[in-house]
Amino acid sequence: MNSFNSQNVSQITKNIIFKEDDLPNKKYSRIPTVIIANNGSILAACEKRNQFEDKGDMDILLAVSSNKGKSYHKEILFQNDIKNGRKMNPSFVVDRFGYHGAVGRIYCFVLSVLNPNKYGNQLSKGESNTLYKYSDDNGLTWSHEFELNAKFPKNCIVFGSSPANGIQLKNGTLVIPAFVAFEDNSYRSGIVFKTPKGDWEFSYINLGYSYTDNECTILPSIDGNSVIVNSRAESMPHRNIYQSSEIVEGVKGPSITWTNHTSNALFKVPGPCQASLEVIPGNSPTYLFSNPAENPRKYICIWSSSDIYMWTPRYLVTRNLSAGYSVLTYYKNRLLVIYESNSKVTECEIQDISPLLNYLKNNVYDNEGIGK
């Protein structure tokens, strides 16, 4: 594992953002995410839980830094309540160019689960919801909650945000990664999306065979007109990859078609854990992926690729054993990663890994390449 740690590591800054004592009786800090606002502010969020399991009482705690990560203001963004229950899976997306309102509007999506004693695939119809808020001032204030469960496809009991950030397509469409649960207790991956003139729509991957997918992370296609979905695959040694049809103004969720992406069989990183994808744009884009390097969820690592076919482990984020969740974000030459940082899963840490940008862009392959 030593070779994963590369040059300029000494310039990387680390900051424990979420801690055991942030909220009374909710010591577990899980499922973190982070985004960079148009003005450079950093927004991070995580679930604050009263137990380790994916059940019980959970709030979404927000941390905002207006000084490049030197200090953070924290507040509860979504609170466990009687109406919608626990809040899970925070996912940010930024409207960089104002297609949907104010330029730089930040959305935060969460999944809510009403019954504290059930997992997502044990719910009955009406026991889950997809909620969002938005901020037009870089995370300082937020709108009221909006609910989307009235738009769920009829055969879905859960259609919630997946714990990774959303993307914006070339035509301005916003897309949130999602996971879906059905009445037969099966899971799949999907997306929640909104074209500039449309409302929020739902689409899930349905290719007519048995699935092992649930949580996912997403990227724009090379032409920027469709979505590549990278899915967690339970009990599988790799990830499953899909691509949507082109998402144009006026398209509805059921009209989206999906295909297996050509990189599907080649993405041989550990499959049974959440993960995050990011792209460093340019004439020759560099794709980045964060995921545990070994099972069971050991050594969170950042991988790089120039083509999403061959992936090389480039930087070992942590040697600590944790629950393995992490999220990458890039904007204007700044690259951050947030992750569950200790074995007790009571803390989440952010690293500013911008000093590695040139290394990651210029050294995509080496002898440890994963893939072909």
pLDDT of 262 reads 73
Q: Rounded CA gap, 107 and 99, in Å?
A: 13
Q: Rounded CA gap, 345 and 324, in Å?
A: 9
User: Mind giving me the DSSP string for 339-365?
Assistant: EE-STTS--EEEEE-GGGHHHHHH---
Per-residue pLDDT of the chain (372 residues; tens, 9 = 90+): 444 444 567 889 999 999 999 999 999 999 999 999 999 999 999 999 999 999 999 999 999 999 999 999 999 999 999 999 999 999 999 999 999 999 999 999 999 999 999 988 788 889 999 999 999 999 999 999 999 999 899 889 999 999 999 999 999 999 999 999 888 888 899 999 999 999 999 999 988 766 678 899 999 999 999 999 998 877 677 788 899 999 999 999 999 999 988 766 556 676 668 889 999 998 889 999 998 887 777 789 999 988 887 788 889 998 877 778 999 999 999 999 999 998 899 999 999 999 999 888 876 555 443 333
Q: What structural domains and CATH numbers belong to the chain? A: 15-282 (2.120.10.10)
The answer to whether 339 and 317 have CB atoms below 8 angstroms apart is yes
pLDDT tens, position by position, 308-331: 877 888 899 988 777 789 999 999
Q: Rounded CA gap, 106 and 40, in Å?
A: 12
3-state helix, strand, coil in the chain (%, to 5): 5, 45, 50
Q: What is the CA radius of gyration of the chain?
A: 19
User: Mind giving me the DSSP string for 32-79?
Assistant: EEEEE-TTS-EEEEEEEESSSSS-S-EEEEEEEESSTTS--EEEEEE-
CA dihedral 269, 271, 277, 282 (to 10 degrees): 30
The pTM assigned to this predicted structure is 0.94
Per-residue CA distances from 327 to 33, 114, 182, 321, 336 (Å) = 5, 26, 26, 17, 8
pLDDT of 370 reads 34
pLDDT tens, position by position, 69-128: 999 999 999 999 999 999 999 999 999 999 999 999 999 999 999 999 998 878 888 999
